[in-house]
Structure 1
Amino acid sequence: MAFGEKLKQERKKNGWSQEELAEKLFVSRQSVSKWENGQNYPSIEIIIKVSDLFSVTIDELLRSDEDLKEKVIEDSRQLAYPTLKYMFDVVFLLGAVFLAIKLGLLMLNKFTPLDVPLYGGSFIWNFGSLILMLVGGIGSGIVKDKYKEE
């Protein structure tokens, strides 16, 4: 049985109108109507509320409708990937900051009588920012492409 049919059956079993169910779920009556007609699906938070309200398992609600199950899986991916992509973006920006610091210090040393040394060795200052920017950019691209595939 599809989610919409199950929702309508449970609603009618309790003698509620779409409006009454909508009030209990804190959504509009139109949302309930679209769910019952299979035009749209609720978020996982609403599915949990429906499960509690009608004393049915989430498993019963999800497994009854393949499209709903796919939507919930897709929603969970959207929550996971932005965090990973954000981490790679931070690594890229860290590399850009190191590059800006190096360039700033080089310009300061060239155009002023100051002689500010670059501590940590030339390899870190010459290649560190490049490596961070490459890892961040490539990692971010891979995560974005993987999300598009799935």
Structure 2
Amino acid sequence: MEFAKKLKEERLKHNLSQEDLARELNISRQSISKWELEKGYPNIETLIILSDLFNISIDELIKGDSFLKEKIIKEGKLGELKMTDQFKWLYVVSSILVVAWLFILPWYNLSGLTLSIINLIGIIYFGIVVNYVKNNKKNFFN
């Protein structure tokens, strides 16, 4: 059964109008209509809420709709890629900043306390990033 048909079936089984369901999901009624007319699909977060609301698994909700399954898989992979790229850049930028803090700033005429505080902040920041990378190696270095 395709998602559109399953959504409508579950909505009617729970005595909900499109307006009622839209209110539950905090979206427009037109979105529900679009899904039921097979002109669009909800995102994964909304699918989770729908499965909870209808007390069925996500698998039951999307079973038979190969397009929606592919869309969810693709969104998941893109989401992972974006996060990985963001943290790679964070790692690179923080590395450059730490090098600057530790090796370039001491050549400037800053008071000892100011320099110590700047270095401490840099080391803590770098430590947080290194800790994140260490704990997420599998996802980070794809």
SS in 2 for 1:88: helix
Asked if 1:18 corresponds to 2:9, the answer is: no
Correspondence for 1:9: 9
CA distance in 2, matches of 1:103, 1:52: 55
Decide which structure has the larger Cα Rg and report it: 1
Counterparts of 2:72 and 2:8 in 1: how far apart (Å)?
20
Write the distance in 2 (CA, Å) between the matches of 1:4 and 1:82.
29
**Aligned counterparts of 1:26 and 1:94: Cα–Cα separation in 2:** 39
Q: Percent identity?
A: 38
Task: Tell me how far 1:62 sits from its aligned partner.
Answer: 2.5
* 1:4, distance to aligned residue in structure 2 (A): 0.7
SS in 2 for 1:48: helix
Give per-residue Cα distances to partners, 1:13-47, cap 9 Å, x unaligned: 23322111111222110010011111111111211
Alignment partner of 1:53 is 2:34: no
- Whole-Å Cα distance in 2 between the matches of residues 25 and 91 of structure 1? 37
- For structure 2, the 5+ residue unaligned runs are 109-139
Larger mean CA deviation between 91-100 and 43-52 belongs to 91-100
Q: Which residue of 2 aligns with 1:112?
A: none
Find out whether 1:93 has 2:93 as its counterpart: yes
- 1:52–1:101: structure 2 CA closer, same or farther, 3 Å change rule? closer
Pairwise CA distance, 1:88: 2.1
Using the size of structure 2 for normalisation, the TM-score is 0.62
**TM-score scaled to structure 1, two decimals?**
0.59
Deviates further, 53-62 or 96-105: 96-105
Q: Alpha-carbon deviation of 1:99?
A: 7.0
1:65 maps to 65
Q: Give the whole-Å Cα distance in 1 for the aligned partners of 2:14 and 2:91.
A: 54
1:90 CA displacement: 2.7
Corresponding pairs, count: 110
1:14 to 1:91, Cα distance in 2 relative to 1, 3 A: closer
CA–CA distance in structure 2, aligned partners of residues 14 and 104 of structure 1: 66
